[in-house]
Structure 1
Amino acid sequence: MRLPHRVPRHRGHRLPRPAGHRGTARRRGPPCRVHAGLTDSAIVGPRKSAGWQRDDKAGGTSPAEVVRRVRPTVLVGTSGQGGASTETVVREMAAHTERPIILPMSDPTRLAEAVPSELLDWTEGRALVATGSPFEAVAGGGITYEIGRANNALVFPGLGLGAVVARATRVTDAMLSAAAHAVAAQVAPTAPGAPLLPLTTELRRTSIAVAVAVARAEDGVARETVGDDIEKRVRRAMWKPAYRPVAGLVAGRAAVVVRPAGPRWALTAVAAPAVVAGGGLRGRTREGRN
């Protein structure tokens, strides 16, 4: 269903619903009964938090207490508070998780919930870390840990490119799933020091892999046949930031100026003296096209 561009959300107004929609039943109790994937232990409410230690400074249950009770395997930082993931929190998490996944996503760097070097130190090198801000590799214990960035640039360029090459009429769930799996396939997180996500310095390689996977998983919405040459077509469709050199003019000397001329470039040999006036060149010129 496509909603109008702007829909008023004042009291008494309801959004249009698709045909056959029966509405959402109102239920009481913890939200884990409605949302798949959550368990009762993940819900911190009045009934579940009885006996939990309260942090009056934080105005409720402290992160350390939640980690101790819930025992999460993934910690995502989006607080915008530098140092929010403290040593106590991380060590508690690592105490009952063999490979804790920790994602301090806030940026700029000074707002990151924790820095990779500390996370690896507090977990004896067991943490799988990806960050929102750029961080250098961390060396320790004879291993160099590459730190990947959890950045949407790993997915979106390849997702769009694959859809364009396949001439897909829309982006389906299968295409999104293929994009996510293609990103994950670019790394081997079990290898010592390997990043959790592909490095942004290898973004073009990742985008090609994502685009190919998306095009192959077109889910019946492609208007182009996706054959064995799909990777070649993806590479051909990619924009390449390649520019020709432009020579500057030096008074009293001849110079060659490269300038655009329609779909091609024109080479102009300019004999001294040359003057740039009103956006044009004055002097004896000899032109040729490549």
Structure 2
Amino acid sequence: MVWKDKTYPIAQCNNSYIFPGIGLGVIASGASRITDEMLMSASETLAGYSPLVNNGEGLVLPELKDIHKVSRAIAFAVGKMAQQQGVAVKTSADALQQAIDDNFWKPEYRSYRRTSI
């Protein structure tokens, strides 16, 4: 892609930001389907975290260290859009945020003990 006389390679890494947030937003809101407007809301939310958009320099996508914050924001935007479109039951913003927190994946695993050789 060329923008302002500068070439930017196109990659699919945006999917690592977009799709976890969409899935989380659908699960947290209980949406019955995914609409075009929900996808656009996810894209617009991700764009809001772009260093290039916000600062006029840097990368198009936010740093990977911010992926949890970005995924939560995308989930919230998707869930609210689902509610606005009537494909999810309307709840308060706090209830939606709590559902997102309750369903957010936490990389915690049980400790296992070896029982055989």
TM, length-normalised to structure 2: 0.79
Match of 1:172 among 35, 55, 60: 35
- Aligned letter for 1:198? P
Amino acid at match of 1:159: I
What whole-Å deviation, never above 9, does each CA across 1:94-141 have from its counterpart, x for those lacking one? Answer: xxx6x3463313xxxxxxxxxxxxxxxxxxxxxxxxxx3xxxxxxxxx
Unaligned runs of 5+ in 1: 1-73, 76-96, 106-131, 133-148, 247-257, 260-275, 282-290
Query: In structure 2, how many angstroms separate the alpha carbons of the residues matched to 1:177 and 1:167?
Result: 18
1:211 is matched with 75
2:44 matched to 1:181? yes
1:7-46 alignment to 2 at 5 Å? none
1:104 to 9, 13, 19: 9
Aligned residue in 2 for 1:220: 86
Q: Post-superposition shift, 1:158?
A: 0.5
Matches within 5 A, 1:22-171: 74-75=1-2, 99-100=4-5, 102-105=7-10, 132=11, 150-171=13-34
After TM superposition, the score normalised by the length of structure 1 is 0.35
Unaligned ranges ≥5, structure 2: none
User: Which fold has the larger relative contact order, with Cα–Cα distance below 8 Å and residues 6 or more apart in sequence?
Assistant: 2
Q: Structure 1 CA distance, aligned partners of 2:72 and 2:60?
A: 19
Compute the displacement of 1:201 (Å): 2.7
String of CA shifts for 1:193-215, please: whole Å, max 9, x gaps.
43211122321111101000000
- Say whether the 8 Å CA contact 2:45–2:77 is kept in structure 1: yes
Two-structure CA RMSD over aligned residues (Å): 2.5
Q: Distance in 2 between matches of 1:163 and 1:102?
A: 35
2: CA distance, partners of 1:208 / 1:150: 17
Which structure shows the bigger proportion of residues in strand conformation? 1
Q: How many residues align?
A: 113
Counterpart amino acid of residue 200 in structure 1:
L
Query: Which of 220, 234, 237 is the aligned partner of 2:100?
Result: 234
* Counterpart among 59, 73, 82 of residue 195 in structure 1: 59
Considering only CA atoms, is the larger Rg found in Structure 1 or Structure 2? 1
